[in-house]
């Protein structure tokens, strides 16, 4: 009987890991337009709720644009690219939002930040699915980047993000039940 309890504890741990991975959402910054001067990043980001574990994907034309993470709000408001914490220029950068707080991003190309190509991302620590999840153009969110660009998303992107999160949750539950049934058959 002790073996059954150990197996059940192991199952609970596995399920927690699976569910944690399925609840994260990847946001394409700027939605369908991406990381581009024509995108209104403030509007894009205002409709989003970013959670710890979510990811920002910046999609853009490498060589024409870049992504620079700025140190603070003062640097963000003044487009002080010289105060950058990190810079990316691959054309496809992914940044994980790994802690609650605000992060600031701007295009490092001269004049682009001043033209509005910047985003402020605020990340909350809450678990579960993000409400109103859509890729934002202005954002400050924590995480690491891997050289990608952002494109602006429309309201339909919000539905896609929420749908993907719900589907992942469903697969997590289904996996848990399948494992539990196998263990029950083996241990019964």
Alpha helix ranges (H) inside the chain: 2-22, 41-46, 73-78, 155-187
Domains of the chain listed by start with CATH number? 2-7+24-187 (2.60.40.420)
Distance CA 137, CA 151 (A): 8
Closest listed residue to residue 73, CA positions, set 28, 139, 147, 146: 139
Rounded Cα distance between 42 and 138, Å, is 5
At 17-64, the pLDDT tens digits run 666 555 688 999 999 999 999 999 999 999 899 999 999 999 999 999
Tokens linked to 61: 């034309």
- Residue 136 has what pLDDT? 37
Q: Is residue 50 within 8 Å of 98, Cβ to Cβ?
A: no
pLDDT attached to residue 127 = 54
Q: Whole-prediction pTM value?
A: 0.62
Task: Give pLDDT, residue 170.
Answer: 64
Do residues 163 and 155 touch, judged by C-beta distance below 8 A? no
Length, in residues, of the chain: 188
Q: Angle, to 10 degrees, between the axis of helix 155-187 and the axis of helix 2-22?
A: 170
**Which stretches of the chain drop beneath a pLDDT of 50?**
128-163
First to last CA, the chain: 10
What is the model's pLDDT at position 125?
87
| Closest residue by Cα to residue 149 from 64, 81, 74, 48 | 64
């Amino acid at each position: 009987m002790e073996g059954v309890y150990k197996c059940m504890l192991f199952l609970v741990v596995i399920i927690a890991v699976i569910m944690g991975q399925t609840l994260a959402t990847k946001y394409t910054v700027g939605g369908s337009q991406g990381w581009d001067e024509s995108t209104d990043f403030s509007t894009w980001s205002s409709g989003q709720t970013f959670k710890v574990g979510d990811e920002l994907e910046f999609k853009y034309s490498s060589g024409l644009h870049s992504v620079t993470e700025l140190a603070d709000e003062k640097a963000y408001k003044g487009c002080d690219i010289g105060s950058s914490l990190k810079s990316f220029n691959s054309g496809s950068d992914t940044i994980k939002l790994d802690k609650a707080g605000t992060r600031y991003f701007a295009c490092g190309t001269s004049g682009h930040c001043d033209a509005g190509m910047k985003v402020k991302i605020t990340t909350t620590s809450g678990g579960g699915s993000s409400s109103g999840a859509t890729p934002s153009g202005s954002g400050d969110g924590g995480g690491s980047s891997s050289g990608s660009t952002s494109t602006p998303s429309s309201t339909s992107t919000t539905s896609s993000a929420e749908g993907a999160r719900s589907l992942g949750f469903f697969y997590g539950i289904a996996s848990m039940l399948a494992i539990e049934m196998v263990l029950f058959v083996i241990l019964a």
